[in-house]
Amino acid sequence: MKIAAVIAALVCSTDCAFGDFAELVKQGDVYDAQFKPEAALQYYLPAEKLEPNNAALLVKIARQHVYRMADQTAKADQLKTGRTALAYAERAVKLAPNECDSHLALAICVGKLTPLLGNKESVEASRRIKAAAETAVKLNPRNDYAWHLLGRWHQELEQIGGVTRAVALIVYGGLPAASSEEAVKCFQKAIALNPDRLIHHIELGRTYAQMGRMPEARQSIEKGLAMPNRDKDDPETKERGRKTLSK
């Protein structure tokens, strides 16, 4: 009888712990959908203590820290928060190397950190973004944001400054090939998969502008600007689009 009671208690304990975890994540998801990272972390972090090796949860936590970066103004705070986000994404990749979302989170976190880094670190970050985005696309070719990130890599690298290119040449022997044409292809694939995400249209338009294809640039950007905000960074994306139109 005593053995049976112990087994029953263990089963109950396991079930209760699982239930607590699922409820914590569920509550965190509510605030994640509302772009309230501080509130979401109040549930996700306790859930992490119950299942520290849950890669999907680590991706969610990384996303909250990326959201927090957008609300911070001091560079030191952004760097600290961004590196925390990156650490969670790196753990997710290590635990779930065959999951698209893990590599996608890594590419996003490195991308958010890149503008805050020096030239040498930026070159290394660029390589990491490309590798992570390409892996995400291979793991799930139907993930629109994976194609978007690969497009952004081509778009940004095409515009990289001479100083950074010189650093890349000295330290790494050069940068990988990038082109606006490839960026366009990636953004078009992203739009085909998810035409309702405004960032795809605006960044496609900004790439057209970069190529001197002004009528197409205006059409794509204006289409994105007319769409409702759905993602955390949509207002920032629209501001980039307006600046491009003003030029």
pLDDT in tens, 17-71: 456 999 999 999 999 999 999 999 999 999 999 999 999 999 999 999 999 999 9
Give the global pTM: 0.86
Direct distance between the N- and C-terminal alpha carbons of the chain, in angstroms, rounded to an integer: 80
Q: What integer pLDDT is reported at residue 135 of this predicted model?
A: 98
Q: What integer pLDDT is reported at residue 164 of this predicted model?
A: 63
Q: What is the pLDDT of residues 165-177, one digit of tens each?
A: 666 666 566 666 6
Q: What is the pLDDT of residues 185-218, one digit of tens each?
A: 999 999 999 999 999 999 999 999 999 999 999 9
Which sign does the torsion angle of CA 200, 202, 205, 209 carry? Answer: negative
Q: What integer pLDDT is reported at residue 119 of this predicted model?
A: 78
Q: What integer pLDDT is reported at residue 35 of this predicted model?
A: 96
Measured distance CA(69)–CA(83) in Å, rounded: 10
| DSSP string across 137-194 | HHH-TT-HHHHHHHHHHHHHHHT--HHHHHHHHHHHSS-----HHHHHHHHHHHHHH-
Going by C-beta distance under 8 Å and a sequence separation of 6 or more, which residues neighbour residue 66?
A: 82, 85, 108, 109, 112
The residue extents of the domains of the chain are 195-247
With 0-12 / 13-18 / 19 or more C-beta atoms within 10 angstroms meaning exposed / middle / buried, residue 107 is: buried
Q: What integer pLDDT is reported at residue 11 of this predicted model?
A: 40
Are 64 and 37 spatial neighbours (Cβ–Cβ below 8 Å)? yes
CB atoms within 10 A of CB 239: 13
pLDDT band at 120 (very low <50, low <70, confident <90, very high): confident
Task: State percent of the chain over pLDDT 90.
Answer: 77
Q: What is the mean pLDDT of the chain?
A: 89
Task: State percent of the chain over pLDDT 70.
Answer: 84
Q: What integer pLDDT is reported at residue 12 of this predicted model?
A: 39
Contacts 24+ apart (CB under 8 A), 24-27: 24/50, 25/57, 25/60
Q: What integer pLDDT is reported at residue 94 of this predicted model?
A: 98
Closest CA to 47 of 60, 66, 63: 60
Check residue 203 and give left, alpha or beta (phi > 0: left; psi -120 to 50: alpha). alpha
Q: Count CA atoms closer than 13 A to 118's CA, side-chain side.
A: 2
pLDDT band at 102 (very low <50, low <70, confident <90, very high): very high
Measured distance CA(123)–CA(101) in Å, rounded: 23
For residue 109, pLDDT beyond 80: yes
